[in-house]
Structure 1
Amino acid sequence: MTISPVVSLRKAIRARLSADSALVAALGAAKIYDEAPRGAAAPYVLFSDAKLRDWSTSDSRGAEQIFVISIVSIERGAAEALALGQRIVDLLDEAPLALEGHLLIDLRHQSAETRREHNGRFARVDLRFRATTEAQ
């Protein structure tokens, strides 16, 4: 069974982020979720939206992913979430990740957006990335 390029990339990203002691310490544990558990203590990191598009050539099957990693914080203002976001960008932008079943061609940070949620209780930073992969 072929592994999805989205699943493969998320596994590699989770491994990279979880291996960074500075990020894990700032989060209070390796709190990197597909969906935050009920009552999860902030700050934490979420895999948010992902869009997958065909990026195949005549020689190989490929995929382009536009995906969002979100940081959620309960600190006043967005400073904590932005600092955590910058650490994630530093770890992932152009990182040479090893993927299961796919070859990572390129991984780049594209943008960041901040917002408040739940009547201002949570600060959220959404980091948008673009990745291209080829099937192996």
Structure 2
Amino acid sequence: MSVEPSLAIQRAIRARLIADPAVTALVPAERIFDGRWRTEQLPCVVIGEGSVNYSNEYESFHDEAYLDVHVWVREEGFELAKEITGAIRASLKQAPWTAEGHIVCGVTVSKARFIRGKDAENAHAIVSIDAILQGAA
């Protein structure tokens, strides 16, 4: 049974980020989550929401997966959030990619948004990632 494409790329993204010393110099590997996290665990990276456009196998054999990666830091400004975002982008730009049960045709960091947290002590970045995958036979 093939792994759902957004789950396959989610796992691949986390594996890549926790293995990248440039990322873990800014965020410890144990604070790079693909699940629940707690506000005292800042800075942290949370692989979050996503969506998939599945191939219909008549017009395209490629699935398109979209994921948001959230960066949370405890600071009034955005300097650390932007440094972490830059490290994430650099890490994800590197090829080759592997994802369980899929051939990864491409991964793109398409945009980043920087917004204030609910209190003045936190900053938040949302990094949007687009991936094109093909199920491996």
* TM-score, normalization by structure 1: 0.89
Counterpart CA distance in 2 for 1:116 and 1:84 is 16
> Is 1:60–1:134's contact at 8 Å kept on the other side of the alignment?
no
**In the alignment, which residue of structure 2 is the partner of 1:115?**
115
> Is 2:5–2:63's contact at 8 Å kept on the other side of the alignment?
yes
**In the alignment, which residue of structure 1 is the partner of 2:45?**
45
Counterpart CA distance in 2 for 1:117 and 1:23 is 22
Counterpart CA distance in 2 for 1:103 and 1:11 is 14
**In the alignment, which residue of structure 1 is the partner of 2:102?**
102
Q: Over residues 39-73 of structure 1, what are the superposed CA-to-partner deviations in whole Å (9 max), with x where a residue is unaligned?
A: 54211101122010123443874310121111100
Overall identity of the aligned pairs, in %: 25
Count residues in correspondence.
Answer: 136
**In the alignment, which residue of structure 2 is the partner of 1:22?**
22
Structure 2: 5+ residue stretches without partners: none
* TM-score, normalization by structure 2: 0.88
Q: CA, structure 1 residues 23+94, in 2 after alignment: closer, same or farther (shift >3 Å)?
A: closer
Structure 1: 5+ residue stretches without partners: none
Where 1:110 maps in the other structure, the secondary structure is: strand
> Is 1:94–1:107's contact at 8 Å kept on the other side of the alignment?
no
The answer to whether structure 1 residue 13 and structure 2 residue 25 are counterparts is: no
Which has the higher mean CA deviation after the structures are superposed, 110-119 or 54-63? 54-63
